[in-house]
Amino acid sequence: MKLTKMTLITALALGGLLTLSPALRADDATNTPPATPPAGDRGPGMRGRGPNFDMIAQRLNLTDDQKPKVKEILDGQRQQMRDLFQNQDMSREDRMAKMKTIREDTDAKLKAVLTADQFDQWQKMESRMRGPRNRPPGEGGTNAPAGAPPQN
C-alpha cells in the first residue's frame, strides 16, 4: 500500500514538472530570436534571395565610377518593386506586366552604364536569380538563349 502511494505521488510530481517545464522555458530571456538587421544590412537580395550589391559589383567587375550608378539603379528598381508589391489594388496580371516594365527599364539604364560584357553577365545573373518559375511553355524557364527553341 505504501509503495502504491509513493508511486502515485512520484508520478504526480513528475507529471507536474513535465507540464510546467515548457512554460518555464518560454519565459526564459535567452530564448529571444536574433534581431533582424536593418534592410540595408540584410543578406543577399530581397528576402535573402540572390546576391547582394557587393557580390554583384564583384561578379560584374564594376569600376569605382560604375558602382554608385549601378547601386542607384538597383536601389530604384528595388523600391519600385517594393511599392508594387504593397499595392493591393492591382490584379495579378497588371502587377506582372508592371514588374516586366520595371525590369526592362532597369536593364535599359544598366545597359547605358555597363560594358557589353558586363551587361551580358548581368543578364545571365538576373536569369539565374529569377530562375525557372511556373512559366507557360515557350516563355523562358530554361537557361537557353533568347530565340532558342524550348526544350521538351
- Each of the 152 residues of the chain gets a pLDDT tens digit; together they read 666 877 878 777 777 766 766 655 555 556 566 555 554 444 444 445 556 888 888 888 889 998 999 999 999 999 998 988 888 888 888 889 999 999 999 999 998 998 999 889 988 888 887 766 545 555 544 444 445 555 54
- For residue 40, give the DSSP letter: G
Which are the contacts of 126, defined by CB distance < 8 A and separation ≥ 6?
103, 107
CA distances from 126 to 20, 60, 120 (A): 52, 12, 10
**CB of 147 closer than 8 Å to CB of 139:** no
Calpha distance 24→110 (Å, rounded): 55
Q: pTM score > 0.95 for this model?
A: no
Domain boundaries, the chain: 50-130
